[in-house]
Chains A and B, each alone.
Chain A
Amino acid sequence: MWTFIHKLGSPPWFYRISGVILRWLLPMTVLALAVGIVWGLLYAPVDYKQGNSYRIIFIHVPAAVVALAGYYVMAFAGALSLIWKIKLADTAMRAAAPVGAVLTAIALFTGAVWGKPTWGTWWVWDARITSMLILLFLYLGVVALWDAYDNKAAAAKACAVLSLVGTVNIPIIYKSVDWWYTLHQGASIKFSGESAIHSSMLYPLLLNIVAFYALYACVVLLNMRAQVEVDNRHARWLVEQIGDD
């Protein structure tokens, strides 16, 4: 276990392994995304209530799911960085934060686009959308804190603490927003999201969720590799590695 963690922390090892992983993962991700999106947008049946506009869930739901999971990934990297002092975990956290923020923004934007034909308005203070907005704020806090520190080693530690604090708070925030929404529901539009989804829509949705996870992994790995390249630009192993590829 210990040697594995230390191996994981070594940039040359990571650089080589991530290169191998990406060679397989990248084409598979592109394929899964293409199939999932074509299936969802063109072949899945029309919803009897919402017509074609519901199709945006094939992007909205995966983005939202991965955005939330991404916060936990970031916090986990932060914990690794604080406890085992693995420098690569700092790089992972640095790479994951903006990707998560962008996914959250995509989820919010597609939610608004979906809301227009469904509810007749771009923005509704629905419990889930509100939670998503707060998640975006949490991500932006981490990104802003990173930028504010001149010493990047300290920035990583600070962001790790902040994202761990955020992780503890996310369930409380989600629950409290839920209660808040129930309390005020009389004043806003009712949205029954619990209706069962038909399997002809569920399968492309599940495929898209998997594809988004893979996409997330690819982008974070590519982002990390770019950072490793910058950090080790004078190292001989990197020159040799790039020469081999």
Chain B
Amino acid sequence: MPLLNAQDVTVSRGARRILEGLNLCVGEGELWQLVGGNGIGKTSLMRVLAGVTRLGVEGDIGLRETPLFLGHASAIKPLLSAYDNLRWHPSGAVQADRGAVSAALSAVGLEHCGESPVGQLSAGQQRRVALARLWLTQSKLWLLDEPFTAIDVSGARLLEAQLQAHVAGGGSVVFSSHQPNQFSTELRVFDLSEYACD
């Protein structure tokens, strides 16, 4: 059984149809990139695939297990420390013990920023705190909406490496991005403009 199987999915917002007749099947060890211009519905589709939005969705979406979903808003509280933020993650089988959290923080290069409130870090560092969840999760399927925004070149390389490692281990990733990325593994491109309505 595939990790994600979306068949004949139609997404509407209010009375307006956004995407129509969409099929996407994600097996193990696959790296997918959603592409399409602004406003075509990448974020909407991500939320639909993850199961955040259910209203105005027709068709079947089968998920083998709860995926890890990281949306536009990264569920990071600026008033709490990076530790407290990462130890709370109710979805997608995230490990929350202290040792794992500090290992994840050093993996994203923030080993010294664990205790201070995240709001005092720079935007790029805050983004890295959110992405540190990729080092904590045990979910096989990752749904990442624009993971490459607001991080620098070294951060992007780090993220690419982590996505490839996950795919190499039999996991799968669906992400949306505008940036050109450098992957050594096969990248499957899913173009939303084929399914867009008017």
Which A residues have a C-beta under 8 Å from some C-beta of B? 150-154, 157, 231
Contacts and interface: CB of A to CB of B under 8 A. Distances in A.
B14 A157 contact: no
A150 B55 CA distance: 14
9 contacts: A150-B14, A151-B13, A151-B55, A151-B56, A152-B14, A152-B15, A153-B14, A154-B55, A157-B55
Contacts of A150: 14
Interface of B: 13-15, 55-56
Contacts of B56: 151, 153
A233 to B, nearest CB: 11
A173 B82 CA distance: 47
A151 B14 CA distance: 5
Contacts of A151: 13-14, 55-56
Given A151-B13, A151-B56, 6 more contacts: A150-B14, A152-B14, A153-B14, A153-B56, A157-B55, A231-B15
A156 B55 CA distance: 11
Judged by DSSP, the binding face of B is loop
Nearest to A152: B14
Judged by DSSP, the binding face of A is helix
B179 to A, nearest CB: 31
A84 B84 CA distance: 41
A234 to B, nearest CB: 11
Most chain B Cβ neighbours within 10 Å, of A154, A157, A231: A154
A151 B13 CA distance: 7
A231 B14 CA distance: 12
Contacts of A154: 55
Contacts of B13: 151
A36 to B, nearest CB: 41
A151 B11 CA distance: 13
Contacts of A152: 14-15
Contacts of B55: 151, 153-154, 157
A153 B53 CA distance: 13
Contacts of B14: 150-153
Closest 10 pairs between A and B when the two form their complex, measured CB to CB: A151-B14, A153-B55, A154-B55, A153-B56, A152-B14, A153-B14, A151-B13, A150-B14, A157-B55, A152-B15
A231 B56 CA distance: 15
A150 B56 CA distance: 14
Nearest to A157: B55
A152 B56 CA distance: 11
A231 B15 CA distance: 9
A153 B56 CA distance: 8
A79 to B, nearest CB: 17
Nearest to A154: B55
A154 B15 CA distance: 11
A139 B117 CA distance: 45
A151 to B, nearest CB: 4
A231 B55 CA distance: 18
A239 to B, nearest CB: 19
B41 to A, nearest CB: 15
Nearest to A151: B14
A157 B56 CA distance: 12
Most chain A Cβ neighbours within 10 Å, of B13, B14, B15, B56: B14
A150 B13 CA distance: 10
A150 B15 CA distance: 10
A234 B154 CA distance: 53
A38 B82 CA distance: 76
A157 B55 CA distance: 10
B65 to A, nearest CB: 26
Contacts of B15: 152, 231
A84 B88 CA distance: 35
B12 to A, nearest CB: 8
A153 B13 CA distance: 9
Nearest to A231: B15
A154 B55 CA distance: 7
B54 to A, nearest CB: 10
